[in-house]
Amino acid sequence: MPRHTSITTSLLRSHFPIAQTLSEYLTDILAIGNSTDADEQGYCILTKVDSPAYQDLVTTTMVAVSEKPSKQFRPSAVRVDMREVRFQ
């Protein structure tokens, strides 16, 4: 992921020690691997089939925190395929 160097990012970093993209933040708090590479159970933040709007959301939204979060959440297994949800 490219590092954001916008005015917004600079401002966030001046007030918070950690400012990162939503994708980076979710990777930090979820007990999964890299945000674009599926871990051993197949979880990842971004995939090739994600919509451009979603990809833009998680790569451009910035999250600022006072301290680095620990990996505290484990994603649950997928129970329903999106195709099933869409047609119900």
**Which sequence spans correspond to the domains of the chain?**
7-69
For residue 59, pLDDT beyond 80? yes
- Phi, then psi, of 73 in degrees rounded to 5: -120, 140
Residue-level pLDDT at 87: 56
Give the confidence band of 57 by pLDDT, cuts at 50, 70, 90.
Answer: very high
Per-residue H/E/C for 17-44: CEEEEHHHHHHHHECCCCCCCCCCCCCC
Residue-level pLDDT at 1: 42
Which among 7-16, 43-52, 54-63, 68-77 has the top mean pLDDT?
Answer: 54-63
The whole-chain average pLDDT of the chain stands at 75
Q: Is the dihedral of CA 8, 13, 58, 35 positive or negative?
A: positive
Nearby residues of 17 by Cβ (< 8 Å), 6 or more positions away? 65, 66, 67
Give the confidence band of 35 by pLDDT, cuts at 50, 70, 90.
Answer: very low
- For residues 25 and 69, what is the distance between their CA atoms, to the nearest angstrom? 8
